[in-house]
């Protein structure tokens, strides 16, 4: 009988007594840890409980809280095939202790949280932006960051470089009428005026003339475009006679007149035979 697949809630019994950590309710194994106890708890998880790998550091923003940010550490135990999360809360001014001394990969992950949320990490000597530009203002994943951003960039053909400009919305947000959506809005959207009929050669929005639309008269062909038999080529009687004569030739004569196919017999005279060097000797 195959063993059941491991679940997040199948935590080892010893981890329930993790010092300086408060278990979170739920199916997944998670703990709340104070900022000052973070390094000690993470060291115990790595050394005593065999959670060898730091998989991810994520950020969460709760603007209604006094400490609005949560830093979430995701750990993996390869020997126990189990995962655990550690949650630490902080505000905009208070830094979180860095875990780069335990896992060097945390340097890149902490830079991402700093770039997206503005959370500082004490002990990280290379805390710079990693996803946005160096001159970027604000932190994009904060809940109070506008969806349109503060600045926009474009390539300036005049200056031959990328320039930053304040965000401008030349087109107002459209307000739709949800009372009678099947009838459409009462206002005319830009471009809808082209749907009205126009008279030939008249400027828009002139009305179109009534009645059926004029159609081009069909011009009869002077000569028929089809042939009654394969011998008729459409090129006149002389061409038809020549085509009939070629069609009645035997197969061997047709093959002899074929010049597009390469010869299957080898050349009896090798290349270079009969050539002479400038000194008089044969090549």
pTM tops 0.95, yes or no = no
User: What is the chain's Cα-based Rg?
Assistant: 41
Cis peptide before 205 (omega within 30 of 0): yes
Query: Each residue of 221-238: pLDDT tens digit?
Result: 555 555 666 555 666 677
Query: Each residue of 114-156: pLDDT tens digit?
Result: 999 999 999 999 999 999 987 788 999 999 998 888 888 888 8
User: Tokens 């082209």, residue?
Assistant: 194
**How confident is the model over 4-12, as a mean pLDDT?**
68
Structure tokens at 123: 């002990």
Mean pLDDT of the chain: 79
CA angle 234, 237, 238 (to 5 degrees): 105
Query: Each residue of 61-115: pLDDT tens digit?
Result: 999 999 999 999 999 999 999 999 999 999 999 999 999 999 999 999 999 999 9
**Cβ atoms within 10 Å of 121's Cβ, excluding its own:** 22
- Tell me the torsion sign for CA atoms 224, 230, 234, 239: negative
Structure tokens at 204: 């828009």
């Amino acid at each position: 009988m195959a063993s059941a697949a491991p679940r997040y809630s199948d935590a080892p019994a010893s981890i329930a007594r993790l010092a300086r950590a408060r278990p979170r309710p739920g199916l997944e194994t998670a703990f709340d840890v104070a900022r000052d106890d973070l390094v000690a708890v993470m060291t115990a998880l790595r050394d005593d409980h065999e959670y060898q790998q730091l998989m991810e550091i994520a950020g969460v923003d709760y603007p209604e809280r006094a400490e609005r940010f949560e830093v979430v550490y995701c750990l993996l135990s390869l020997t126990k095939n189990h995962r655990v999360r550690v949650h630490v809360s902080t505000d905009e001014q208070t830094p979180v202790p860095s875990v780069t001394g335990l896992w060097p990969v945390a340097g890149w992950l902490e830079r991402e949280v700093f770039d997206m949320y503005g959370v500082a990490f004490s002990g990280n000597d290379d805390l710079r932006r990693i996803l946005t530009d160096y001159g970027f203002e604000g932190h994009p994943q904060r809940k109070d960051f506008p969806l349109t951003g503060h600045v926009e960039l474009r390539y300036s053909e005049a200056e031959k470089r990328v320039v930053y400009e304040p965000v401008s919305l030349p087109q107002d947000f459209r307000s739709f009428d949800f009372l009678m959506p099947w009838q459409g809005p009462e206002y005319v959207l830009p471009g809808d005026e082209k749907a009205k009929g126009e008279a030939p050669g008249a400027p828009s929005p002139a009305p179109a003339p009534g009645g059926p639309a004029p159609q081009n008269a069909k011009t009869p062909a002077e000569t028929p475009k089809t042939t009654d038999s394969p011998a008729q080529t459409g090129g006149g009687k002389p061409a038809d006679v020549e085509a009939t004569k070629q069609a009645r030739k035997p197969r061997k004569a047709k093959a002899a007149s074929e010049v597009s196919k390469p010869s299957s017999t080898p050349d009896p005279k090798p290349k270079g035979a009969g050539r002479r060097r400038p000194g008089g000797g044969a090549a």
